[in-house]
Structure 1
């Protein structure tokens, strides 16, 4: 006799009040909101660090693709605010144009290398380089780029940052080091970092939408998280305005040291 027909398999539904991963929805929402608020405060205080703080915390309750996609809108809005906050936008665009154009080209190549190059290699190299830079700075031997070199270095630095960004998803780190080495004052540094990140994140937003990672519900979720994050971001901006130049630079170096250790930890996983 032929075997009895089996009922078609149906995926299990999440229990009421729980996410698809089985966690309480209230707990998931609390972790997501807390991650965005903390990342927004850091972003407001030192002009960078949003994805570095937000992504691993969001990944505690969301898959990584969702974590990246849902955090794009808050990041873009905050970068836009910091770019326009003190004027001088057109001057910064002219100054950084070559760096940004070659950075985008580098991201294309870096994304291609991601297919063939083990990401942990690039993460380890970047982490060691970061810690070396911080160590030299702490010893009073911080690398400095003479202003006359900027014209020639911007394109290769942007290209390298783009490649590393394509492989590791942290394109901003080499740029932060470069802007710091140029000796930019606090306001120039904030505007340059935010403008660079804004361009990269807009491209990433288009790419995630094109590949179907950024859906309508995630876009709306990102808008809602932006509203949540703006309060913490505004508080961070007040901290940034209060900080003296020297203290601000020390905070930047401290965060870079933590970032270097985090990259090495990721590389060793």
Structure 2
């Protein structure tokens, strides 16, 4: 999910590696042992391809996908199912401020919280929205020290780009233990873990294609068109050095942090 005032998001670019992006979602939701929830919410639903899987898993539930990007919600709305699956546009913080306490049986937020500054402080509000005995499940990237991010940040700090990229959205996350302790302090039973996926990517400049749909997009959107092309060319060059293709695809290590918490009954 994008911040309410963030860059424009491209559903098609985001879906370029839909299978690889979807695997952590499946690993996350697979640990949610909710037999028959009535209300399921996906905060930061993006183009809705993964939200629809929640409707498939819990056919008796009303499933709602929420995202702050108009483009994402437009793409997701094609997947709506009358009475069962719907999408609407809202910023995550705004949604939390209006959610009825205890209304949601399963609250999922996948690769979203890293875009929300200070999101650890939102844990009480997230838990408050969940029914007694309900479930909170979220996943965030933990790869911000990898070249895919550090090279982008280093280049963005160089002239002539720095004057345009100062203060852009910068995704961040905590380690699994930090989330676990925060949610235990709120009375939840918590399962937290991390996994590093080794994605094998093919095609021209595949790591750039990956990050340009997510972590690098705010930087690219902040640049004027002429500088953006120069930036992209140099960024691709640096990524090719960091992620060499030896003829069998480029290996992109991607660490992700998972948390599944059950509220007290």
Smaller-chain TM-score bracket? under 0.3
Of Structure 1 and Structure 2, which has the larger fraction of its residues in strand? 2
Bigger Cα Rg: 1
Of Structure 1 and Structure 2, which has the larger fraction of its residues in helix? 1
TM-score by length of 2: 0.26
